Chain A
Amino acid sequence: MASASPTRAKDIPAKIVVLGESAVGKSSLALRFVRRDFIPNQEATIGASFLSRSVSLVDESPPVTIKFEIWDTAGQERYRALAPMYYRGAAGALVVYDITSADSLRKAESWIGELRRNADPQTVVVLVGNKCDLESMRQVSIQQGQDLAEKEELLFYETSAKDGTNVDALFTNLGKTLLSRGVIASGVDRRSTMSRNLQPPGSRTPKSEQQKRCDC
């Protein structure tokens, strides 16, 4: 199991959270990236699933390997109150909508707002329009997605967890952005990744999010 492989010393861990409306394909996206697999009618995520995959960025100098530690969250409104537990301290956040549902884009906007208010300002946010294989049912144009991403200064991708379009590209580019913005760092200066200790007082963030970086 890829997700269970122990981290090698040089791997740089990057905590990524996946947010968005129910049934837009958050789990499918994570599973496509980590296991290169797609299961239609994926069961609803309750709580959050944890998956990880290491990716080598060979064209960085020096080449680095990022270990993406992905928290795939539950989409339904009921579980929204639990989301901060997962996005606090995240290096990156994927805010996913379904291109066949205009409604899901509105929900994505509200997630972006919530991240702006409550997440670490360094967190790199990627707007992801999933299900781009369903072109005939499209309700959200690429332009609409791009406009929102530009307005909010986010990275933007349209993906298909079903056929794999842009999934690896998204994570590779996210990894590069995390490095170039210094959100995660290779070498000795791991302290720059520790800005995630900045949390509002009384936050319920488990200590794990600070400490797991050190023990793996």
Chain B
Amino acid sequence: MQFPPPSLFDDGEPKWAAEPAPSPATARAEAAEKAIHEPLINLKAICKLARKGIPDKLRADYWKTMIGYYPPTRESWPEIRLRKEHEYMELVRSVCSLNEDNTVTSVARDVHRVDVDIPRTLPTMHFFACDESVVVDGVPTTFSPTQESLRRILHTLARVNKGFGYVQGMNELVGHLLFAFAEGKAGNVTLQIEADVFFCFQAMLSILGDNFCRSLDFDRETGVMSTLRTYDKLFEYCDPELHDHITNVAMVKPEFYAFRWITLLLTQEFLVPEVLRIWDYLFSFGPKMSSALLYCAIAMLIHQRDELLGLEGMTMILPFLQQFPPIDIDEMLEIAQKLLDEYGLDTIRQVKADIEGTSESPLSPKQQQVTSPVSRGAAITGKIGGFMSAMRAGAQGIFNKGVSSSAPASDE
């Protein structure tokens, strides 16, 4: 992803012209730069900026701050960075057996589980590419320097988080963090960056960790199946018609497609720069990122609403969802934001309470029908449908709050 984009003003611009007015993207990049360099960073302000996308070179600082790994007092960062690097290396040495060059030696069986997945992590990116790959007993034994970094992080994580161990999928999340923090350049990877990735991922795990915990799979209140039930209810609440078409008529349950979306934070659905853009948005919600993720997943479906309603049955809908078509990520995130503005994080709490049976006034679709003659889904998708048409027509003005289109969703 190129950021900022090439200037719209070419060299032919008359020399006497005053400083050209910066494009919105350039202005945004400048604001983003300024906000993260304040001595006391305004967390609310940077989160708001992040939702529109963070320039590559600022991404690491933004993510680290938004996730709570770095404090808002910028002058404390250099000291933290040194201390954390030291702490990380101590940790690596205490749990991994290392060669002289700090690479992890392969002996134990759980080492294999990690190593098997190393060449399978972002395999199409040069960032991780390994020139020659040697496999012994089904396990790779040669790695590129970035892959060695990935190994150190994952092996250490596996041993430090005894409750989970190494779970497939962690490699993808860590791989994306490493790529983002090194700005996609293998030469940028240092032990300091590794340490940052390690501790940021630990912070992510504390937010998303239940999804990786096998023993909680079928737990009523936590774990991945519970998250999927919440997602399903929320989807039904946001867009009953589309939910009915996918989940009830075609019998495409969330386990079949959203399981991967949610456990991997959409890493397998989109290209790396797009994933980073989505993570800019998600991380801006800090500890609430898993709730924002649910709205993103629903926004993906609503973005493709017309296409999905045109497909019939599991054998058509499921392959579509599992190989999600390339979409405009900014549009999708706008829809997610609209949903969030409309329903907020409270709706998720309410949905969870309903599922757990602790709610005093259940939020049933039936009740919605009573309170609102137009179903909520039609209302929101009406707005969004209008929104999408407007985006294409270049007339965003109609989206001012309070203007709601009652026309059926049209996405031409």
Contact = CB atoms under 8 A, between A and B. Distances in A.
B42 to A, nearest CB: 37
Given A41-B123, A78-B212, A81-B218, A46 B319 contact: no
Contact of A4 (B116, B171, B256, B319): B319
Interface stretch (B19-27, B309-317, B371-379, B399-407): B309-317
B98 interface: no
Interface stretch (B181-189, B258-266, B273-281, B290-298): B258-266
A197 interface: no
Interface string B280-323: 00000000000000000000000000000000111110111011
Instruction: Indicate the member of B167, B250, B255, B323 with the most A CB atoms within 10 Å.
Output: B255
Contact of B319 (A1, A40, A43): A1
B116 A81 contact: no
A139 B137 CA distance: 8
Interface residues of A, number: 48
Nearest to B312: A6
Contacts of A6: 312-313, 315-316
Given A41-B119, A76-B167, A79-B168, A52 B268 contact: no
A69 B315 contact: yes
B326 interface: no
A122 B343 CA distance: 48
Contact of B259 (A47, A76, A78, A211): A47
A110 interface: no
Interface stretch (A95-103, A141-149, A161-169): A95-103
Given A23-B116, A44-B169, A208 B315 contact: no
A115 interface: no
A212 B314 contact: yes
B117 interface: yes
Given A4-B320, A23-B138, A101-B137, A208 B214 contact: no
Contacts of A78: 164-165, 167-168, 212, 214
B159 interface: no
Given A49-B322, A52-B315, A22 B251 contact: no
Contact of A103 (B138, B169, B218, B315): B138
A51 B120 contact: no
A208 B168 contact: no
Interface residues of B, number: 45
Contact of A46 (B121, B164, B260): B260
Given A41-B119, A46-B260, A46-B268, A82 B315 contact: no
Nearest to B249: A215
Given A42-B120, A44-B171, A78-B214, A211 B251 contact: yes
A178 B207 CA distance: 46
Given A1-B319, A69-B315, A206 B119 contact: no
Given A81-B217, A212-B314, A101 B169 contact: no
A195 interface: no
Given A44-B169, A139-B137, A76 B113 contact: yes
A177 interface: no
Interface in A64-83: 67, 69, 74-82
Contacts of B264: 46
B253 interface: yes
A79 B213 CA distance: 10
A48 interface: yes
Contact of B214 (A47, A81, A101): A81
B252 interface: yes
A206 B320 CA distance: 19
A172 interface: no
Nearest to A24: B138
Instruction: Indicate the member of B117, B252, B256, B322 with the most A CB atoms within 10 Å.
Output: B256
Given A1-B319, A4-B315, A6-B315, A46 B169 contact: yes
Contacts of B18: none
Contact of B255 (A3, A80, A206): A206
Interface string B164-183: 11011101100000000000
A100 B169 contact: no
A6 B310 CA distance: 13
Contact of B268 (A22, A43, A211): A43
Nearest to B264: A46
A205 to B, nearest CB: 10
A3 B135 contact: no
Contacts of A208: 251-253, 314
Nearest to B314: A212
A105 to B, nearest CB: 11
Contact of B251 (A52, A103, A207): A207
Instruction: Indicate the member of A1, A76, A102 with the most B CB atoms within 10 Å.
Output: A76
Given A4-B316, A98-B138, A212-B314, 13 more contacts: A6-B312, A41-B120, A43-B268, A44-B120, A46-B259, A47-B255, A47-B263, A67-B315, A78-B167, A82-B259, A206-B255, A208-B253, A208-B314
14 contacts: A4-B320, A6-B315, A7-B313, A43-B123, A43-B268, A44-B169, A46-B259, A78-B168, A81-B218, A103-B137, A204-B218, A206-B251, A211-B251, A212-B313
Interface of A: 1, 3-4, 6-7, 22-24, 40-44, 46-52, 67, 69, 74-82, 85, 98, 100-104, 137, 139, 204, 206-208, 211-212, 215-216
